[in-house]
Amino acid sequence: MKDIELLAPAGDLERLKIAYLYGADAVYCAGKKYGLRANANNFTLEELKEAVEVAHSFHKKIYVTVNIIFHEKEIAGIDEYLQNLDAIGVDAVIASDILVIKKVQELGLNLQVHVSTQASILNSEAGLFYKSLGATRLVLAREANLKDIQDIKAKTGLELECFIHGAMCTSFSGRCVLSNYCTNRDANRGGCAQICRWTFTLDDKKDVFSMTPKDLNLIEYIKDMMQVGVNSFKVEGRMRGIYYIATVILTYRKIIDQIKANNLRESDINYYLDILNRCANRESTPQFVNKLPSKDEQYFLGRQELSNQDFLGIVLSYDKEKEIVILEQRNYFKVGDIVEFFGPDLETFSYQIDEIWNENDEQIEIANHPRMIVKLKIKTILKKYDMMRIKVFDKQDYL
């Protein structure tokens, strides 16, 4: 269990830093081209260079997705792009098109190649094919169960990466072009319009047809996955915000560390499950790892997403002498609210808000302006990037 990696998504530099701070061992992100989230912010080459510097300053790793399926017009420039990624010190590229895998070898680059989940690897024979091409890691299809994973590990000896949390496609990833046909947006070049989250009519039936899957959540199977040989535990969500990244990564960090220390209890899992489910906007299930998903692992009314406003503020600084924390507000809160603070090096604690000051040191009753600067008096020492959220669950209740 030594070489276990928690792998986080990052849509920009802020989220990348948050991911590392909250416990990720590695982060994956995309450049402006060649990634499957073409319409996300993504990173310029300069930003990728800075991201690599940040990653390596934390002694952590950074992977860049180059996982589109190439049409002719995208090929010009790929050699130079891969050479640039290599030159700035990116640790690996995540690729699905054989073109990228071969180019890395032919150009003699130091980049490792991780085969994307888009390649739908579900058996060791497919894994061996990619191994023969020079791949060092396989990101398995989300449809893989524990037996598949164990067999692939045993027969390929490659590093294995599995998604453990977040949204998932209805289809095998990479095997769907519904978006192309319904919107003319190419799913396999980063333009997916998520048609599987739309509704359809089916024959002449009165009930709408939906195929939207619930999200993936493998919290209860992390230990099993470690035992069958998974090296990297991957969280989906390059479009997600800092609160989601912080909450999910910190939770899995604790789970992995507690498994390694052999002190993860049932009560901990139940508590963590509630934390994770609360910060997501859809229900989640283990999906394929233990059985084939049935009607209970999907929605039948199309997109069903809840807005979450638990994230109240992020710590900008803390004055030890005055015991004052300065926060940037993210959602409405007021005097009398019971909240909690959490952070990478912080034992989560509850706090009742008795007084609030604005940045001019005027006492106020409510913090209701987006991103306003507020001050609270707190004895516990806080650090930049710690976060404040609504208190919903109390760990004591789970014991």
Partner 1 sequence: MKTNKYLIVVTSNDLLEMKVKNTNFLFPMKGYCVGFSKTFLLSEINVSNAYLYINRILDKESILELKKELSNLNKNIIGLCFTDLGILSLVKELELSLKLIYMQHHCTTNATSINYYLDYMDSVLISTDITKEEIMFILDHSKKPLVVPYFSLVDVMYSRRTLLTNYNQHFGYENENEAILHEEISNQEFMALENEYGTVLYTKKFVDYREINHENILFRFINPFGLTKEKLESLLKGEEVEVLKYTGFLNQETYYLLKEDK
For the segment 366-395, give every residue that binds partner 1 (CB under 8 A): none
Round to whole Å and give the CA distance between 86 and 122: 29
CA angle 90, 95, 98 (to 5 degrees): 130
Residue 66 near residue 81, CB atoms below 8 Å: yes
Nearest residue (CB) to partner 1, 95 versus 339: 95
Two tokens at 228? 């069958």
- Kindly tell me which residue out of 41, 83, 136, 180 binds partner 1, with binding defined by CB under 8 A: 180
Round to whole Å and give the CA distance between 33 and 30: 8
Nearest residue (CB) to partner 1, 67 versus 247: 67
Nearest residue (CB) to partner 1, 70 versus 393: 70
The number of residues that bind partner 1 (CB under 8 A) is: 72
Query: Does 292 engage in binding with partner 1 (CB under 8 A)?
Result: yes
For the segment 109-168, give every residue that binds partner 1 (CB under 8 A): 119-120, 122-130, 141, 143-145, 147-148, 151-152
- Kindly tell me which residue out of 13, 45, 107, 178 binds partner 1, with binding defined by CB under 8 A: 178
Nearest residue (CB) to partner 1, 76 versus 261: 76
Residue 362 burial (CB count, 10 A): 8
Nearest residue (CB) to partner 1, 70 versus 357: 70
Round to whole Å and give the CA distance between 108 and 243: 39
Interior/surface letters 97-127, b for 16+ CB within 10 angstroms, e for the rest: bebbbebbeeeebebbbbbbbbbbbbebebb
Nearest residue (CB) to partner 1, 43 versus 272: 43
Two tokens at 369? 């302006």
For the segment 194-253, give every residue that binds partner 1 (CB under 8 A): 195-196, 198, 200-203, 205, 207, 209-211, 213
Query: Does 291 engage in binding with partner 1 (CB under 8 A)?
Result: no
In 3D, which of 58, 79, 72, 68 has the Cα closest to residue 16?
58
In 3D, which of 301, 276, 278, 386 has the Cα closest to residue 341?
386
In the bound complex, what is the minimum distance in angstroms from residue 116's beta carbon to partner 1? Answer: 11
Query: Does 77 engage in binding with partner 1 (CB under 8 A)?
Result: no
- Kindly tell me which residue out of 59, 108, 184, 320 binds partner 1, with binding defined by CB under 8 A: 184
Nearest residue (CB) to partner 1, 199 versus 348: 199
Nearest residue (CB) to partner 1, 85 versus 122: 122
In the bound complex, what is the minimum distance in angstroms from residue 67's beta carbon to partner 1? Answer: 11
Round to whole Å and give the CA distance between 302 and 211: 7
In the bound complex, what is the minimum distance in angstroms from residue 7's beta carbon to partner 1? Answer: 23
Round to whole Å and give the CA distance between 49 and 120: 30
- Kindly tell me which residue out of 41, 84, 136, 183 binds partner 1, with binding defined by CB under 8 A: 183
Mention every residue, 6+ apart, whose C-beta is less than 8 A from residue 341.
315, 348, 349, 351, 378, 380, 382, 386, 387, 388
- Taking CB under 8 A as the binding criterion, the range among 81-89, 182-190, 346-354, 381-389 that sits at the site for partner 1 is 182-190
For the segment 81-110, give every residue that binds partner 1 (CB under 8 A): 96-99, 102
For the segment 36-65, give every residue that binds partner 1 (CB under 8 A): 38-39
In the bound complex, what is the minimum distance in angstroms from residue 221's beta carbon to partner 1? Answer: 17
What is the distance of C-alpha 45 from the center of its chain?
22
Round to whole Å and give the CA distance between 170 and 181: 16
In the bound complex, what is the minimum distance in angstroms from residue 142's beta carbon to partner 1? Answer: 9
Nearest residue (CB) to partner 1, 1 versus 182: 182
- Kindly tell me which residue out of 13, 41, 47, 70 binds partner 1, with binding defined by CB under 8 A: 70
Round to whole Å and give the CA distance between 248 and 279: 8
Residue 307 burial (CB count, 10 A): 5
Round to whole Å and give the CA distance between 396 and 399: 6
In the bound complex, what is the minimum distance in angstroms from residue 1's beta carbon to partner 1? Answer: 23
Nearest residue (CB) to partner 1, 201 versus 267: 201
